[in-house]
Amino acid sequence: MRTSRKKSVCVVIGLACLTVGLPTAPASAAPPSAVASAIAYKAAALPTAVTAPPEGNGKAFHHNPIIDYSGKLQLPANYTEEELLVSGTADVYEHGADGDVRVKESDVPYTTRVLVRMPKDPGDFSGNVHLEAGPSGLDGLSRSADKVFADGDAWVTVLTHALSSSTQRMKTADPVRYDALSLPEFGQNWDILSQVGRLLKTRTADNPLNGYGVRKVYANGWAFAASVWLTYTGEGFHDRLRMPGGRPIFDGYLIGNAGDYQPVNSTAPAVAKDDPRQKVRDLDVPVVVLLTGPQDDNRRRPDGPGYRVYEVAGASTAAPRAARAYGQTPESFLTTGPFACDYDVSRFPFNQFFQSSLTRLENWSDKRETPPPSQQFERNADGTAKLDAYGIPLGGVRSTYTDLPTARYFANSTDQRYSICASAGAQEPLTQEQLKSLYGSKASYVKKVVREANRLERQGWLLPDDAREIRQEAKAVADF
């Protein structure tokens, strides 16, 4: 039986400071950060209303420009999707003269869209919720659907203000269904995300997962969505806004390819590159930073008891290959698609590493399984990644695609007709002569891939179904 000691903390409610007892984390858990113990916190509010949207055109708005042309999400028979309009009031924050965060404007009304994919039967639910922050048009489920559905997780997407209108595209697509959407100020994001996170852990009829037994809520995001979480943790909102009693709202963070550190509100100045907030601080929950390129120098820091960085060699920023649940075929990635890039866009299976990273995060938080040390690229003096003969970075997280290549992978920076051509990356097949020189025969190639895929699966870099897919792909390669 696990035992724990108690410690006293200060919970700020209004102007009052309540002292409550909290269990001390087990020795193997990520310890609370010094910042967390220094910041007085309060229980995040709950949204004031959760309703179904008007009928409108009868379906939820989905738009992922990278995925939609070649695949559509196919929910398993035991899953359902629920769209909700969530309303409440959120504070807007600013920095005081001492640089600390303070409330600039209180109780600004908002209405956002929350999209929930969950098992129909609570008995099929794993207890894990993955909450994604992002503007309309982005959906991290495309990178993780196979893991989510296989494990019985719930996936929740919260529409956030993105410094440009996050709501206008949806209002244009369906002015009836989304007329009520209102995100007037970027600085509301921090309270909105906290309120939705708390809602998912609260026994209330407004909770779409009420009765499901939610145990953990993990925050994740890619690109802009990741930069939202970078600011959320960097500005101390993880520490400031908590569950009643002081437990964290979010039990871990997956921060993927974060862009610029976001300002605390829409008029706040940009955060300098050398500002310490650019580096992920130690929290009382684990953080995994997942990257397709070398981490910026201003964000590099040593591993901590709750911090890892994984740079995936061969992956591209946009990573167009989606989870199998999207029904894509290899032909989806050819230049015959509507973007007509100069080169075949990359088929590198980055989604598989996104999925295994989510699993590592869960196991780190829930089972106290310490993940491998950070894996980062070898770097040149100018900070760029060192590349091998096939244009693949040296070091970092490896795969069969990098160590047993059948194609050359590179950034398609010369083709700027469509942004996807540059961000999705490109691949160029190796010649028959190159393949024979590397492997001798297809049989030898397949044997090596199977052995490497099995090793990556044992080490946790590939989930079992993804390792199986890699082995099947190797066997389907044309003879040489």
Q: How confident is the model at residue 5 (pLDDT cuts 50, 70, 90)?
A: very low
The whole-number pLDDT of residue 64 equals 73
Q: Would you tell me how many other CB atoms lie within 10 Å of the CB of residue 430?
A: 17
| CA geometry: angle 241, 166, 68, nearest 5 deg | 115
Q: How confident is the model at residue 317 (pLDDT cuts 50, 70, 90)?
A: confident
Token pair of 255 as six digits: 């921060």
**Distance between CA atoms of 168 and 157, rounded to whole angstroms?**
17
Q: Mean pLDDT lowest for which of 244-253, 323-332, 377-386, 464-473?
A: 323-332
pLDDT of residue 418 exceeding 60? no
CA atoms within 13 A on the CB side of 138: 22
Beta-strand ranges (E) seen in 223-331 are 241-242, 253-256, 287-291, 307-311
Q: Bridge partners of 288?
A: 254, 308
**Distance between CA atoms of 145 and 164, rounded to whole angstroms?**
28
The whole-number pLDDT of residue 3 equals 33
CB 75 within 8 Å of CB 81: yes
Q: How confident is the model at residue 202 (pLDDT cuts 50, 70, 90)?
A: very high
Q: Mean pLDDT lowest for which of 63-67, 181-185, 295-299, 311-315?
A: 63-67
Beta-strand ranges (E) seen in 59-100 are 79-95
CA atoms within 13 A on the CB side of 112: 34
**Distance between CA atoms of 190 and 205, rounded to whole angstroms?**
23
Question: Could you tell me where the DSSP H helices lie in 252-328?
Answer: none
Q: How far apart are the first and last CA of the chain?
A: 59
CB 423 within 8 Å of CB 415: no
- Chain position carrying tokens 């907030």: 277
Q: Mean pLDDT lowest for which of 234-248, 263-277, 298-312, 340-354?
A: 340-354
Q: Mean pLDDT lowest for which of 24-28, 372-376, 402-406, 408-412?
A: 24-28
Q: How confident is the model at residue 68 (pLDDT cuts 50, 70, 90)?
A: low
Token pair of 259 as six digits: 């862009």
Q: How far is CA 158 from CA 139, 143, 145, in A?
A: 10, 17, 17
CB neighbours of 476 closer than 8 A, spacing ≥ 6? none
Q: How confident is the model at residue 468 (pLDDT cuts 50, 70, 90)?
A: very high
Helix (H, G, I), strand (E, B) or coil at 212: coil
Query: For 112-160, how does the pLDDT look when each residue is reduced to its tens digit (9 = 90+)?
Result: 999 999 999 999 999 999 999 987 666 788 899 999 999 999 999 999 9
Q: Would you tell me how many other CB atoms lie within 10 Å of the CB of residue 4?
A: 10
Q: Mean pLDDT lowest for which of 24-28, 121-125, 169-173, 202-206?
A: 24-28
**Distance between CA atoms of 307 and 280, rounded to whole angstroms?**
8
Q: Bridge partners of 357?
A: none
Query: For 426-447, how does the pLDDT look when each residue is reduced to its tens digit (9 = 90+)?
Result: 888 999 999 999 999 999 999 9
CB 119 within 8 Å of CB 153: no
CB neighbours of 152 closer than 8 A, spacing ≥ 6? 119, 124, 125, 126
Query: Which bin fits 418, alpha (ψ -120 to 50), beta or left (φ > 0)?
Result: beta
Residue type, 57: N
